[in-house]
A and B are shown apart, each in its own frame.
Chain A
Amino acid sequence: MTEPTTRRIAIEPLSRVEGHGKVTLLLDEAGAVREARLHIVEFRGFEAFIVGRPYWEVPVVVQRLCGICPVSHNLCAAKALDAVVGGVPPPSAVKLRRLMHSAQLLQSHALHFFHLASPDLLFGFDSDASRRNLMGLVERHPEVAKMGVMLRKFGQQVLEAVYGKRVHGTGAVPGGVNKHLSLEARDQFVSQVPQVKAWALEAVGLARRLTEVNQARHRGFGAVPSNLLGLVATDGSLDLYDGVLRGVDAEGRVLFDGVEAVDYRALIREEARPWSYMKFPYLERLGPDVGWYKVGPLARLQLCDRLPTPLAEAARLEFRAAYPGVTHAPLAYHWARMVELLHAVEDLERLFADEGLLHGDLVATGARQREGIGIIEAPRGTLIHHYEVGDDDLVTRCNLIVSTTNNNQAMNEAIRAVAQRYLSGHEVTEGLLNHVEVAVRAFDPCLSCATHAMGQMPLEVTVVDAGGAVAGVGRRGEA
């Protein structure tokens, strides 16, 4: 008896996503997809090397996880360390942090939709690969490309004004922030808001049209029912900066609500699998098989009771009306993401009108604590930072559950569904393989953020000098 022959196809590297990863597909003799996996092939290890560093360094160091959403990590780390310094940030500090957060969400969502995802949606999943990219977008839809660039630019300019740099600044510190917004910068931004809001409305319309134009395919594409997880304000409205955890099942029934950040450990467990550096979180009460969940814009818009900003709330209602019940279609992320982008612009407008951005106390401290947990809704979903700090001010333990990690199982399920639906029994072409990438891309994964220390997973690091000679080898576990 001979073993059945199988064929392995690797999509490597995944393109138009942040970070480095690959997808492997295992096909049997008949060409049916037997397995599809998203592998994270880069290793970062921030959870390990932040240990032994002073706690005030953490928000600046840990944000280097990412070049797209460093502000989310800067804020989440600072929120966790607010508890360590025993201070409730003053009202001005909270407003400035919220300003940073909405500016960050705006630039990140614009980057993903316009620069990374729109070529698939505008040109077709299996269109000419040489044109299916940002340069093709600039060439054939210059007005769309410009809108994306300008939306992102506005968010980055706000960040530069309040966080020191467009990427990797130093805005949030434990207990508060380190600067106000200047009156001059505020007035300049206020004058730009009408145009930015008009672009944001246009972006929502574009995402909606692109979703509706091929509704039948979009609704089923990679859709796998799951639980949804996210933060909401105590009144049930969307709050991206602070709130309580709410979880619903695949039909939208509430599983839990009002869970405080400090109680996340009773809610979430993380499973390690040997073929990926990314962990697999799940709801403890449901177990790993059915306890996995989605986070991010698609989850948030279907979890919350309403958005606190009027135009975005109207857009959310249109989105919900288009998908009665709960949708699990990954491609619906794009429309939801642009609704959130509009919400971010409206939130910035609301904050610009607040004098608290310009003056007021910036930092508060109190009784020192040894542990801090922060949760924030980053652009890609729920982000958790957890630190323990010794009496000597050095970090003794760190756990990060990053947005993309929370979506790990959901992304794997989506690519499996797409691969089985579109690839099985067909001659595998670049266009068909791009279908798999389209499914991953919809989640806007940040693979750089999502890979960390993982128990005793075998790891070998080889250091090669410039001449190609092996300078040293370090091993953990089996080599």
Chain B
Amino acid sequence: MSRSAFTLDGAEVPFDDGQTLIEAARAARRYVPFLCAHPDYPAHGSCRVCTVLVNGRPMAACTTKAAAGQVVESDTPALTADRRALVQMLFVEGNHFCPGCEKSGGCTLQSLGIELGVTSAGFAHESPVRPVDASHPDLLLDFDRCILCELCVRASADVDGKHVFALSGRGLHKHLIVNAESGRLVDTGMSVDDAAASVCPVGVILKKRVGFSTPIGQRPHDVATPRQQVEGKEGA
């Protein structure tokens, strides 16, 4: 084994100094299931879907730095079962109605559910009551679908410099809020051209009046699922 490499499910994966496990794996076109990790933003480590075993210890692949000689396991029945449970919990904590959601076919949570073989809720539905915010002329917020990944928080703060979004509350009561006295998006400085308007991996932040304009077969994950995007393969 070369000095700067680790093994992922038995295959050697080279890395550059400072790369995380998931960054190195992506560079080597090897897929580790992920949800809140985004290549354009610093690691957040909130969803734990990318948890792998590093020398036998569970670690988030998005926050763990690669080190020479690490033995990393990802594709194991036990880890797949754990990831499936995590995704099921995210589904039941919100209100996710994929059949009527315009993000279908481009939703990372939905694709991950399919990837992991989620076929049932698995847990009791929380059925939270979270009214939509349609106050903004060009954007709609459907809080039912929030998975608390903070990508919008990071994009608004780090790229847009606006700090429109934040998470409030703790534990089960944690929820997404917008930075306005009224609590309404229209009273923030949010613009449809902001990075935060396009970063949501699920169907919370939506551009108005364009839903379902992309036909089935041409939606992002119809063209290539997250796994296929990492592996560099075209979809069916």
Tell me the A residues contacting B by CB distance below 8 Å.
Answer: 52-54, 56-57, 59-61, 64, 85, 163-165, 168-171, 173, 178-179, 363, 392-394, 465
Q: A59-B212, A465-B124 are in contact. Are A54 and B140 (CB under 8 A)?
A: yes
Residue of B nearest to A180 (CB): B215
Please give 9 more A-B residue pairs, beta carbons under 8 A apart, in addition to A61-B100, A164-B216. A52-B131, A56-B208, A57-B211, A57-B212, A59-B212, A60-B100, A60-B212, A170-B215, A179-B215
Given known contacts A61-B100, A64-B100, A168-B99, A178 and B214 CB-to-CB distance under 8 angstroms:
yes
Interface residues of B in 173-196 (CB under 8 A from A): none
Q: Please pick, from A64, A170, A393, the residue contacting B212 in the complex, using a CB distance under 8 A.
A: A170
Bitwise, B139-161 to A at CB < 8 A (1) or not (0) is 01000000000000000000000
B76 interfacial by beta-carbon distance below 8 Å: no
| Chain B positions 191-236 with a Cβ under 8 Å from a chain A Cβ | 206, 208-218
Q: How far is the CA of A178 from the CA of B218 in the complex (A)?
A: 11
Does any Cβ of A come within 8 Å of B55's Cβ?
A: no
Q: Is B43 an interface residue (CB 8 A)?
A: no
Is B59 located at the chain interface by the 8 A CB criterion?
A: no
Docked Cα-Cα span, A138 to B153, in Å, equals: 60
Contacts of B81 in A (CB 8 A): none
Contact B212 A56 (CB under 8 A): yes
Give the shortest distance, in Å, between B165 (CB) and chain A (any CB): 20
Q: Give A173 to B213 CA distance when docked, in angstroms.
A: 7
Using CB atoms, name the residue of chain B closest to A465. B124
Q: How far is the CA of A56 from the CA of B212 in the complex (A)?
A: 8
Quick check: B217 and A57 within 8 Å, CB to CB? no
Residues of A close to B214: CB separation below 8 A:
178
Q: Least Cβ distance of A194 to chain B in Å?
A: 28
Chain B residues with CB under 8 Å of A59's CB are: 212
The yes or no answer to B12 lying at the interface (CB within 8 A) is no
Chain B residues, CB < 8 A from A392: 134-135
Chain B's nearest CB lies how many Å from the CB of A214?
A: 44
Chain A residues whose C-beta falls within 8 Å of the C-beta of B213 in the assembled complex:
173, 178, 363
Note all chain A residues with C-beta closer than 8 A to B217. 164
The reply on B82 being an interface residue by CB < 8 A is no
Contact A393 B208 (CB under 8 A): yes
Q: How many Å from the CB of B214 to the closest CB on chain A?
A: 7
Known: A56-B209, A164-B217, A179-B215. A393 touches B140 (CB 8 A): yes
Give the Cβ gap from A58 to chain B, nearest Cβ, in Å.
9
Residues on B with C-beta less than 8 A from A64 are: 99-100
Q: List 9 A-B contacts (CB under 8 A).
A: A54-B211, A56-B212, A57-B102, A64-B99, A164-B217, A178-B212, A179-B218, A363-B213, A393-B140
A387 CB, nearest partner CB in chain B, Å: 15
Q: How far is the CB of B209 from chain A (nearest CB, A)?
A: 6
CB contacts (< 8 Å) of A61 on chain B: these are: 99-100
Chain A residues closer than 8 Å to B124, beta-carbon distance: 465
Which of B210, B211, B217: most chain A Cβ within 10 A?
B211
Residues of the A chain whose Cβ atoms lie less than 8 Å from the Cβ of B218: 179
Contact A54 B134, CB 8 Å, known A393-B140, A393-B208, A393-B209: yes
Q: Does B132 contact A (CB under 8 A)?
A: yes
**Cβ of B215 and Cβ of A164 under 8 Å apart?**
yes
Contact A57 B100 (CB under 8 A): yes
Complex Cα spacing A266 to B216, Å: 39
CA distance A162 to B210 in the complex (A): 19
Determine the chain B residues whose CB is within 8 A of the CB of A393 once the complex forms. 134, 140, 208-209
Task: Identify A165's interface contact among B134, B135, B212, B216, CB under 8 A.
Answer: B216
Question: Measured between alpha carbons, how far is A85 from B102 in the docked complex, in Å?
Answer: 18
Bound together, the chains give a CA A59 to CA B210 distance in angstroms of: 13
**Chain A proximity of B105: nearest CB distance (Å):** 9
A165 and B215 CA atoms in complex are apart in Å by 10
Contacts of B131 in A (CB 8 A): 52
What separation, in Å, do the CA atoms of A393 and B214 have in the docked complex? 20
User: Of residues B134, B206, B218, which shows the largest number of chain A Cβ atoms within 10 Å of its Cβ?
Assistant: B134
Chain A nearest Cβ from B142, distance in angstroms: 8
Give CA–CA (A249, B135) in the complex, Å.
49
CB contacts (< 8 Å) of B132 on chain A: these are 52-54, 394
Q: Return chain A residues, CB-CB under 8 Å to B99.
A: 60-61, 64, 168
> Who on chain B is nearest to A64 by CB?
B99
A53 contact set on B, CB distance < 8 A: 132
The residues of B that contact A363 with a CB separation of less than 8 Å are 213
Assembled-state Cα–Cα distance A168/B208 (Å): 22
Query: Chain B's nearest CB lies how many Å from the CB of A241?
Result: 20
B100 in contact with A56 (CB, 8 Å): no
For the complex, give the distance between the alpha carbons of A394 and B211 in Å.
13
Do A56 and B215 touch (CB < 8 A)?
Answer: no
Would you give the shortest CB distance from A251 to chain B, in whole angstroms?
45
* Pairwise interchain contact B208-A169, C-beta atoms closer than 8 A: no
Cβ-closest 3 pairs across A and B: A164-B216, A61-B100, A179-B215
